[in-house]
Amino acid sequence: MARAITKKIISGKFKGKTLHLPSMTTTRSSKSIVLESFFNTIQFDIIDANFVELFSGSGSIGLEALSRGAKRIFFMERDRNALKVLEQNIAQTDPAACEIYRGDTFANIGSVIKRLKAMDESAYFYIDPPFSIREGHEDIYKKMTDLIEDLPLSVVRLIIIEHMTGLKLPSKIGPYTRTKSKKFGKTSLSYFRQE
């Protein structure tokens, strides 16, 4: 039997908790170095903030945000196996602070926006779509930029995209401008916010 793949929460109140990861054929996990850099960038801003993790997989980024003081996490995932793992991981932290939106992220984003508007609050949006080289995901980046263009300014604090370093993202997507990009080998993080 294959050994379960795991990673630990790096910092905060759930530091050291072991998170399970879905099979690599389903999702890929963000590297620790990428996570570390991202959370160093937003470390104090995330406290008491809302955080939306699109294409959540195991939920490792959202749960790291929760551990570091974010107040509410919105997870969005479609894959059944990944959802099972996500639920197990949430159960080890603070389920009351987590909301899971099951199904297609592009279809469900409207519900998350509605929820944030009802709360009259904004959120960090962490977007780590499946790489476009995967079967069935050839148009994923086009759909992702369309989704970002449609995000209402009132609900967005910051948009973070984790993507293949070779992908050339525009410097502006709708009302959002890229303010920073950082490379980590084959993976890059790009930050977009309202100018």
| pLDDT of amino acid 26 | 46
| pLDDT of amino acid 91 | 97
| pLDDT of amino acid 4 | 64
| pLDDT of amino acid 28 | 53
pLDDT digits 0-9 by tens, 35-52: 889 999 998 999 999 999
C-alpha to C-alpha distances, 57 to 50, 175, 193, nearest whole angstrom: 18, 28, 24
pLDDT digits 0-9 by tens, 49-76: 999 999 999 999 999 999 999 999 999 9
8 contacts 19 by C-beta, under 8 angstroms: yes
CA gap 156, 148 in Å, rounded: 10
| pLDDT of amino acid 31 | 73
| pLDDT of amino acid 159 | 98
How many Cβ atoms sit within 10 Å of the Cβ of residue 1? 3
Q: In sequence order, what DSSP letters do the residues of the chain get, joined into one string? A: -PPPPEEE--SSTTTTPEEE---TTT--PPPHHHHHHHHHHHTTTTTT-EEEEES-TT-HHHHHHHHTT-SEEEEEE--HHHHHHHHHHHHTS-GGGEEEEES-HHHHHHHHHHHHHHHT--EEEEE-PPPTTSTT-TTHHHHHHHHHHTS-GGGEEEEEEEEETT----SEETTEEEEEEEEETTEEEEEEEE-
Residue 147: CA count within 13 A, CB half-sphere? 24
Within the chain, which residues score under 50 in pLDDT? 1-2, 26
At 167, which amino acid appears? L
Q: What is the pTM assigned to this prediction?
A: 0.92
CA gap 113, 57 in Å, rounded: 20
Extract the tokens encoding 148: 């970002």
What is the radius of gyration, based on Cα positions, of the chain? Answer: 16
| pLDDT of amino acid 143 | 93
CA gap 100, 90 in Å, rounded: 10
Q: What are phi and psi of 26, to 5 degrees?
A: -90, -55
| pLDDT of amino acid 1 | 40
